[in-house]
């Protein structure tokens, strides 16, 4: 990584992240909505959503059933129950459709929406990745361009609603097979009210060379965003999907609850990269799960910055012999934030391997938790599991905890688990400052070094953006 | 000293305490441009404490005394400010920063020292030259700073930093320890080529072997926190032959008349 320019060395004017965030990312457009529905959730809302979307009957019924499950399921009794308990489900809009219909090209995108994307830097990403930029604004995808070569390859990359309309046979075959509505309360909620998200299908032996990207954004107060993503990599295919998030600042709580399902068929490869940077009032409760068939590889690269409470445990089910799963995650918990993140690997076939690398940083009273599950089923022989969690605690007010669960029902297994908690050493600070770096730059460099194993896996512009975000988060950290 | 402005570095009556115990007990010295001064003394005499305090290590409490750089009082300046003004400490035990590549670190340090963004291409050329001069494999540019480096590699990287940062005052804390003879020669050559007419070097060592390559203009011997003997480079030879015992005996005897 020697060639990557250092993004941390430039000391910026000291602006508090909270103010700066509002200025930089917290801009808001007037809420010019075509349909804003009503607050709260019941079967009437579900019926309305489904009718608006002109969905097939099976999806309509699926939604209603999911709502029943959601209403019947109690809130989780584990995790940050206090914060979870503060969610008021009756005070949330479950479906909003923006005025703008889907734009075919950049020129068709309305000006105010374009301004939002401009400030998020989307046009640059667009220039660099002319392939599938799929940007979700509110609940519908307004801008969506798919590079021609993708279409020629037979790769399907569209928003989930379009996917359901245009490829019902694929959607019906795989939808909710990895994460059924009954999986957990929030998966049930998403199943009932989902809107938008990405749908990707890669045909057999097809290699998608450029990463497919999507930006997500919440823009209405009290609006829940429930995107649903389904990626199917058919036999021997390869795809890398990238999703980045920023959100405006709100005065009241907002809920983001996504469901992401990945299916890697025999010999397929899927990498799913996320950097989420939600505003500090967002509940980010996401269910992400992948199934890896024979000799398939699934990699989750998951970065969580921001939000009030994140609960996210990307999971890989290794169901085919020789399958491999890798989960690499970073969580940054600042003031008033709880990052409850982790990973789950389930070995259900022989000769499967998994690697979990989790890095967390807590600062300003923030709390970072690692919650992980490593399970090896009986009969799954010669499995390898390696879990490493590193926590960096930046001040005495902050907190880090680890909740690893290991269930091994098979004797022949190679299991490694390592957890480390560290602080920034005075000697490190002195060393860097003796080279002219101010204290904040020194701390930022150390933190960026701490997550380098993660950053180096990101495409350049994301790595740069992440380093900048960390730099912003580190501002005002010198007491 | 009335002629502070005539020296690069002036230390006046410095007293330093570590955890309440006085370790440096009144040291005064001056360092001039183009000059190399060796600071020698047995283990525990306070050499490292002295140079670390000059740089501003937070664990060392300065209880009295002043430090002047180019005639300006820098006694209470922050570490990074001193560094940007041209003070440099080559660490006896360089600190590892995992995940931060040597190249990224060097660029951050060079930019900080020069107060400007050095263009990438220009920087890379300078860096490559410095690696070449100190015979460090270029693969180290991409490695985590001092992370898993051997003692010799660390010391070379310290001198390499000195070459890039072009300090006004270089404090070298036992840069010779842990080096084999080839590495010692390379490091010594590096020190010589970096310390031009505008630079003053204060070399801390307790062996004379580095001083065979880097000729000091002046030698101070530190013992129990005080400079107890000073002289020219002939003092190095004397110490080599007689050790520190003769000085120790002298200072332990009651002073007469």
Report d(CA A327, CA A447) in Å as an integer: 20
Find the mean pLDDT for residues B7-23: 95
Q: Note whether A2 contacts B142, CB cutoff 8 Å.
A: yes
pLDDT-based confidence at residue B222 (cuts at 50, 70, 90)? very high
pTM for this structure? 0.83
Find the mean pLDDT for residues B26-40: 95
Sheet holding B72-73, edge to edge: B21-31, B9-18, B61-69, B72-73
What values do phi and psi take at A130, rounded to 5? -60, -15
Q: Note whether B108 contacts A6, CB cutoff 8 Å.
A: yes
CA B219 to each of CA A192, A475, B30, B214, B222: distance values in angstroms, whole numbers, following the listed order: 82, 45, 12, 12, 10
Name the residue with tokens 């005639």: B71
- With CA atoms as reference, report the closest residue to A94 among A183, A226, A201: A226
Structure tokens at B180: 């084999």
Helix, strand, coil distribution of chain B in percent, nearest 5: 40, 25, 35
Say what the alpha-carbon torsion angle A286, A291, A297, A300 is, to the nearest 10 degrees.
Answer: 0
Q: How far is A365 from chain B, CA to nearest CA, in Å?
A: 24
**Run means of pLDDT, 10 residues per run, chain A, 479 residues:** 38 38 50 63 91 93 97 93 90 69 51 54 39 40 57 88 94 98 96 91 94 59 72 98 63 78 98 85 93 98 90 97 97 93 97 97 94 95 96 94 92 91 94 97 94 89 77 71
| Residue B147 burial class via C-beta count within 10 angstroms: exposed 0-12, middle 13-18, buried 19 and up | middle
pLDDT over threshold 70, residue B257: no
pLDDT score at A115: 55
Q: Note whether A427 contacts B117, CB cutoff 8 Å.
A: no
pLDDT score at B14: 97
Report d(CA A328, CA A330) in Å as an integer: 7
Residue B58 has its nearest CB partner, among A430, A436, A453, at A430
pLDDT over threshold 80, residue B124: yes
Residue B161 has its nearest CB partner, among A9, A427, A435, at A435
Say what the alpha-carbon torsion angle B231, B236, B237, B238 is, to the nearest 10 degrees.
Answer: 60
Q: Note whether B107 contacts A6, CB cutoff 8 Å.
A: yes
pLDDT score at A112: 52
Strand pairing report for A383-393 and A133-137: unpaired
Find the mean pLDDT for residues B30-36: 95
Q: How far is A361 from chain B, CA to nearest CA, in Å?
A: 15
Q: Note whether A427 contacts B95, CB cutoff 8 Å.
A: yes
Predicted confidence (pLDDT) per residue in A359-418, tens digit? 999 999 999 999 999 999 999 999 999 999 999 999 999 999 999 999 999 988 999 999
* SS3 (DSSP) at A255: strand
Provide, as residue numbers in chain A, all residues whose Cβ is less than 8 Å from the Cβ of B91.
431, 434
Q: Note whether B100 contacts A452, CB cutoff 8 Å.
A: yes
Q: How far is B89 from chain A, CA to nearest CA, in Å?
A: 7
Distance from chain centroid for Cα A69: 24
Q: Please tell me if residue B165 touches chain A, with a CB cutoff of 8 Å.
A: yes
Q: Note whether A448 contacts B142, CB cutoff 8 Å.
A: no
pLDDT score at A220: 44
Report d(CA B212, CA B188) in Å as an integer: 9
Q: Note whether A431 contacts B58, CB cutoff 8 Å.
A: no
Of all residues in chain B, the percent with pLDDT exceeding 70 is 98
pLDDT score at A102: 43
pLDDT score at B210: 87
- CB contacts under 8 A, B 141-160 vs A, are 141-142, 144
Dihedral sign for Cα A141, A86, A185, A78, please: positive
Provide, as residue numbers in chain A, all residues whose Cβ is less than 8 Å from the Cβ of B102.
2
Q: How far is A398 from chain B, CA to nearest CA, in Å?
A: 22
Find the mean pLDDT for residues B76-89: 97
Residue A426 has its nearest CB partner, among B55, B58, B89, at B58
Contact call for residues B178 and B152 (beta carbons, < 8 A) = yes
CA A28 to each of CA A117, A277, A307: distance values in angstroms, whole numbers, following the listed order: 12, 16, 18
Contact call for residues A392 and A422 (beta carbons, < 8 A) = yes
pLDDT score at A108: 54
| Residue B33 burial class via C-beta count within 10 angstroms: exposed 0-12, middle 13-18, buried 19 and up | middle
Predicted confidence (pLDDT) per residue in B125-175, tens digit? 999 999 999 999 999 999 999 999 999 999 999 999 999 999 999 999 999
Structure tokens at A19: 């103010």
Report d(CA A291, CA A286) in Å as an integer: 17
pLDDT score at A105: 53
Q: Please tell me if residue A428 touches chain B, with a CB cutoff of 8 Å.
A: yes
Q: Please tell me if residue B58 touches chain A, with a CB cutoff of 8 Å.
A: yes
Structure tokens at A3: 């060639």
Provide, as residue numbers in chain A, all residues whose Cβ is less than 8 Å from the Cβ of B58.
426, 430
Strand pairing report for A97-98 and A33-35: antiparallel
pLDDT score at A98: 52
Provide, as residue numbers in chain A, all residues whose Cβ is less than 8 Å from the Cβ of B57.
430
Provide, as residue numbers in chain A, all residues whose Cβ is less than 8 Å from the Cβ of B98.
449-450, 452
Contact call for residues A326 and A340 (beta carbons, < 8 A) = no
Q: Note whether A435 contacts B105, CB cutoff 8 Å.
A: yes
Mention every residue, 6+ apart, whose C-beta is less than 8 A from residue A446: A424, A428, A429, A432, B97, B100
End-to-end CA distance of chain A: 31
pLDDT score at B18: 92
């Amino acid at each position: 990584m020697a060639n990557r320019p250092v993004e941390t060395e430039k000391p910026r004017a000291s602006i508090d992240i909270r103010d700066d965030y509002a200025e930089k990312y917290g801009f808001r457009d007037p809420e010019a909505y075509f349909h804003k529905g009503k607050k709260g959730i019941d079967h009437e809302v579900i019926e309305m959503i489904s009718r608006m979307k002109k969905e097939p009957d099976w999806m309509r019924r699926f939604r209603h059933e999911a709502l029943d499950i959601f209403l019947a399921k109690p809130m989780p009794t584990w995790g940050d129950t206090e914060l979870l308990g503060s969610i008021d489900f009756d005070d949330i809009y479950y479906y909003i459709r923006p005025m703008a219909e889907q734009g075919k090209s950049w020129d068709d995108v309305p000006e105010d929406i374009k301004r939002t994307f401009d400030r998020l830097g989307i046009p640059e990403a667009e220039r660099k990745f002319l392939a599938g930029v799929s940007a979700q604004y509110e609940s519908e995808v307004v801008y969506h361009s798919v590079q021609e070569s993708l279409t020629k390859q037979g790769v399907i990359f569209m928003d989930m609603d379009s996917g359901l309309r245009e490829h019902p046979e694929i959607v019906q075959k795989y939808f909710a097979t990895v994460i059924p509505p009954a999986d957990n309360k929030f998966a049930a909620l998403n199943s009932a009210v989902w809107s938008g998200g990405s749908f990707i299908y890669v045909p057999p032996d097809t290699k998608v060379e450029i990463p497919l990207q999507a930006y997500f954004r919440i823009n209405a107060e009290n609006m829940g965003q429930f995107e649903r993503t389904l990626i199917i990599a058919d036999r021997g295919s390869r795809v890398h999907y990238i999703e980045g998030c920023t959100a405006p600042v709100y005065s009241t709580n907002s809920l983001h609850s996504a469901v992401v399902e990945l299916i890697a068929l025999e010999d397929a490869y899927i990498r799913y990269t996320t950097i989420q940077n939600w505003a500090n009032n967002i509940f980010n409760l996401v269910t992400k799960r992948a199934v890896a068939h024979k000799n398939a590889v699934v990699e989750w690269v998951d970065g969580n910055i921001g939000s009030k409470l994140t609960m996210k445990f990307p999971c890989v089910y290794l169901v085919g012999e020789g399958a491999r799963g890798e989960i690499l995650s970073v969580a940054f918990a600042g003031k008033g934030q709880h990052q409850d993140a982790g990973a789950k690997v389930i070995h259900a076939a022989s000769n499967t391997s998994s690697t979990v690398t989790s890095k967390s940083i807590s600062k300003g009273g923030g709390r970072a938790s690692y919650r992980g599950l490593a399970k090896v089923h009986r009969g799954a022989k010669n499995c390898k599991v390696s879990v490493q969690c590193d926590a960096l605690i930046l001040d005495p007010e902050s907190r880090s905890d680890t909740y690893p669960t290991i269930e091994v029902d098979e004797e022949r297994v190679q299991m490694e688990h390592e957890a480390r908690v560290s602080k920034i050493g005075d000697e490190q600070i002195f060393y860097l400052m003796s080279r002219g770096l101010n204290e904040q730059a020194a701390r930022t460099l150390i933190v960026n070094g701490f997550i380098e194993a993660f950053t180096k896996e990101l495409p350049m512009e994301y790595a740069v953006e992440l380093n900048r975000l960390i730099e912003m988060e580190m501002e005002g950290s010198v007491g | 000293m009335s002629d502070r402005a005539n020296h690069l570095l002036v230390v006046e009556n410095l007293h330093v305490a570590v955890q309440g115990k006085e370790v440096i007990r009144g040291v005064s010295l001056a360092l001039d441009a183009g000059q190399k001064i060796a600071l020698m003394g047995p283990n525990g005499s306070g050499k490292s404490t002295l140079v670390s305090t000059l740089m501003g290590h937070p664990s060392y409490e300065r209880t009295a005394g002043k430090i002047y750089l180019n005639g300006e009082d820098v006694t209470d300046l922050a570490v990074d400010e001193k560094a940007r003004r041209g003070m440099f400490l080559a660490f006896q035990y360089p600190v590892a920063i995992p995940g931060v590549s040597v190249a990224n670190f060097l660029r951050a340090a060079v930019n900080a020292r020069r107060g400007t963004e050095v263009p990438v291409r220009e920087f890379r050329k300078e860096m490559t030259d410095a690696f070449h001069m100190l015979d460090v494999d270029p693969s180290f540019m991409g490695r985590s700073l001092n992370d898993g480096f051997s003692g010799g590699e660390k010391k070379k990287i310290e001198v390499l930093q000195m070459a890039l940062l072009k300090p006004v005052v270089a404090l070298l804390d036992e840069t010779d320890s842990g080096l084999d003879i080839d590495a010692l020669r390379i490091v010594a050559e590096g020190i010589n080529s970096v310390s031009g007419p505008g630079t003053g070097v204060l070399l801390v060592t307790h062996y004379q072997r580095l001083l065979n390559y880097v000729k000091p203009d002046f030698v101070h011997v530190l013992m129990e926190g005080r400079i107890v003997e000073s002289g020219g480079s002939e003092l190095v030879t004397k110490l080599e032959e007689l050790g520190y015992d003769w000085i120790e005996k002298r200072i332990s005897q009651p002073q007469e008349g």
